[in-house]
Chain A
Amino acid sequence: MASQEIEALASALARLPGLGPRSARRAVLWLVKNRERALPQLVETLAAVQDTLVECETCFNVDTRNPCGICADPRRDAKSICVVEDVSDLWALDRARLFQGTYHVLGGRLSALDGVRPEDLTVGELLQRVEAGGVDEVVLAMNATLEGQTTAHYLAERLEAFPVKVTQLAHGLPVGGELDYLDEGTLAQALRARRPVD
């Protein structure tokens, strides 16, 4: 029987997506075996992330600096903004390096049933970015869910007041984590096939 502390670590790890109790136990065993090197390394990297983790004030990406690495990158095309629901969508899209512009993370999707209203999302901040000028195109990359598509409609209408081209992914993004399984070809196709919102 493991000590209380080891049990606590196992149950903390078990809550991580994709792990579960069995994998967590294996990870803990491995850490215990490699406690000389692996354990301090893990503790240090976790602590470093915890100390520096910030939300980007421009695009609401999560990074270790503000503005985030994407917003601060001079090679990025700041004239185009890709709007996504969650940070996970941003990471998945950006890992594929398909989009050369910058992002805007809404922090969710409109849902009357879940009580998520426009003011709960970073809609105001997006409109401010566009209003400040220098933006030519806003790409709406919402999920293919009903709530995602409603949110896209909502944003398209709010953006009508500004002289920007508003486009939308042909079919929306697959929901949440599923994006990770999409191959780059499919993502590239979704981006290429973006169309003006009617």
Chain B
Amino acid sequence: MNYETVIGLEVHVQLKTETKIFCSCPAGSGGEPNTRVCPVCLGLPGTLPVLNRRAVELALRAGAALNCGLSGFSKFDRKNYFYPDLPKAYQISQYHRPLNGAGWLEIPTAAGKKRIGVTRAHLEEDAGKLVHFEDGWSGVDYNRTGVPLLEIVSDPDLRRPREAYEYLKELRSVMRYIEVSDCDMEKGSFRCDANISLRPAGSRELGVKVEIKNLNSFKAVERALEYEEIRQRGLLERREPVFQETRLFNADLQQTISMRSKEEAHDYRYFPDPDLVPVVFPPERTGEIRGQLPELPLARLTRFREEYGLPDYDAGVLTAERSLADYYEEAAVAGAGYKSLSNWVMGELLGKLNEAGLTIEESPIPAGRLAGLLKLIEEGTISGKIAKRVFAEMFESGEEPARIVERRGLLQISDRGELEGIVETVITGHPGPAADFRGGKEAAIGFLVGQVMKATKGQANPKLVNQLLRARLS
């Protein structure tokens, strides 16, 4: 029998605020345990939470970018469960009236754009962090407790593990474009849980779903879903039951493993938090927030393809990060050829930045200067080969390309007379290849061009060298 895979994702995005969601403790990460805490986030008696305005603004912006319907009325609920990382024994979340209702995110897939439904995107507070001591006891650090999170729940619209990967990539890109979150999985500011079930192809009913946790990278999400897809298909084909359970992904084994939970209570007993009052805003706010959004990654990708004539791959790489796309456009406006600029940015520039551990914002070569370098190539002032040397030097010193070329005497040799002499010497010095070419072996010309380039330290105009060699050997 053919089965259809149904996947839904729950993503927690840490909002980029200075302070926690319900108290004024700093929201940063790292540092000594229990040094960014106060009576509110420690859940001490007699304290009251007060909502962070910035967290609401960021959450609304995220909702707008995800095309979510905003009800204009939102409130907070308590999600009750007992765990040491939760000092109040409840988490303040939004159950009945989330800030952002149903929306969608468009993702690029192999088969074109696909719209993935977003069920909701609501605010909640993060829990603390547990460490495990060698003697079996645990330690709790409440620094992270109360850090604002936006939980983005997708509809079960994803059909392949690869689509889940694409969705996460796009979601992360969007959240970074709108500067709502750093989305750094390693730092925990972007976390994902996945739900997956299988059903007979064509069936409308959903199968029994399994939740997968402990997914530390997009690749891990894809791998875990692939594994789970195969496991569940095996069970169904053998007519064995799939249990509704939570499984953990083990990256070493590349498997999902059943998590035997002792807690029977899956009822979180949600109820309205009486300590917090509703958030209400007029419907006009929606339009206002939408109007302030920047061009989002997929729209920008499409425009890069059309406006600059770039292949899909280039447009995708260049628009994945807003700062990189901005860099590209700045250099393009400054007059660099679109495709060669794309090659230089994706190749030399990203390679060097990566090597040096720098971000595009920290690039020692500003966009305008890279454009200047590319113009020198296009005008024939320097060869492509020399340009790489100039680039390396620009990266070190930050100097203007034209000045480096001048100081180092790297101008391309396009002087016929000068090159003819060198061509002559090379032909005399390599009678074998010269004879081969004369005898019809076309490839031999490459060797001879290489020799001329070598003799001129790469400064000869290769087109002209080729021309001169052919003229001389015909």
- Whether chain B is bound by chain A comes out as no
- Report A's interface with B, CB cutoff 8 A: none
